[in-house]
């Protein structure tokens, strides 16, 4: 889990550095204007540029969320593959289902007959230990990670996320646009990525103090996730008792 924790620390540092810039520009504008000295000439930060910088915080936060979820999945895959030492019968029912889904892809209608045969043979070879077992967990939430999708993924692995009461209130409380903080980040990120929302429009009617709250909620939520996944791995939660 060291990689997960180090990545979390690095990405949070990126966000805090960026927020420090955005916040100080807001303070400067409030005091009369954010002015830069560019080759001896005064350059004043425009309101549109400030809005674009606000929008960037949403992208930074979603980048943090998706990177941590991806690394947590990979950590479970890696520890499970090493922990069962080639014995698939040691996997829990939840993990066996995910293992078969990842190889056989029974619900992927886009696969050709030849591809299905190839996957069936791979499953056959791994079950008989003719090839090393590779455990992959179908994430299913790429680009759409919010609390519901994260809860679904975790439950499919065998991890029950019982958030502490205060944290549960924070992530479920309507933050903006009648949406909770994590869902808000996901939806704004997707709108920006798909072009249905401009960066200037996105950053309108925001203040830095809102983003301070948003950043702190995401950090606390992800720290809880990391802790729960670490407990699962430490107790070999992927193995039958």
Q: Is 85 exposed, middle or buried (0-12, 13-18, 19+ CB in 10 A)?
A: exposed
Q: What is the DSSP letter of 239?
A: B
Phi-psi group of 233: left, alpha or beta (phi > 0 → left; psi -120 to 50 → alpha; rest → beta): alpha
Q: Is the pLDDT of residue 108 over 80?
A: no
pLDDT digits (tens, 9 = 90+) for 16-56: 999 999 999 999 988 888 888 888 899 899 989 999 999 99
Q: What is the DSSP letter of 179?
A: B
Q: How far apart are CA 58 and CA 49, in angstroms?
A: 15
At 184, the pLDDT band (50, 70, 90 cuts) reads: very high
With vertex at residue 215, the alpha carbon angle to CA 3 and CA 26, rounded to the nearest 5 degrees, is: 130
pLDDT digits (tens, 9 = 90+) for 171-183: 999 999 899 999 9
pLDDT at residue 141, as a whole number: 55
pLDDT at residue 71, as a whole number: 96
In this prediction the pTM is 0.88
pLDDT at residue 165, as a whole number: 96
């Amino acid at each position: 889990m060291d990689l997960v924790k180090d990545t979390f620390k690095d990405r949070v540092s990126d966000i805090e550095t960026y927020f420090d810039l955005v916040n100080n520009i807001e303070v400067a504008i409030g005091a009369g204007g954010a002015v830069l000295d560019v080759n001896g000439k005064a350059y004043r930060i425009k309101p549109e540029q400030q809005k674009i910088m606000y929008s960037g915080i949403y992208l930074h936060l979603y980048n943090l969320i998706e990177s941590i979820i991806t690394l947590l999945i990979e950590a479970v895959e890696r520890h499970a593959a090493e922990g069962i030492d080639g014995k698939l019968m040691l996997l829990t029912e939840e993990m066996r289902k995910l293992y078969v889904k990842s190889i056989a892809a029974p619900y992927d209608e886009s696969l050709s007959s030849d591809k299905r045969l190839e996957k069936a043979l791979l499953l056959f070879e791994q079950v008989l230990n003719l090839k090393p077992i590779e455990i992959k967990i179908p994430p299913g939430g790429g680009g759409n990670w919010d609390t519901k999708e994260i809860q679904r993924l975790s439950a499919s692995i065998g991890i029950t996320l019982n958030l502490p009461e205060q944290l549960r209130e924070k992530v479920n409380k309507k933050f903006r646009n009648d949406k909770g903080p994590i869902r808000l980040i996901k939806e704004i990120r997707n709108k920006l990525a798909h072009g249905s929302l401009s960066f200037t429009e996105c950053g309108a009617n925001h203040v830095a103090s809102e983003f301070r709250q948003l950043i702190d909620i995401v950090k606390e939520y992800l720290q809880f996730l990391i802790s729960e996944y670490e407990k699962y791995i430490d107790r070999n939660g992927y193995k039958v008792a």
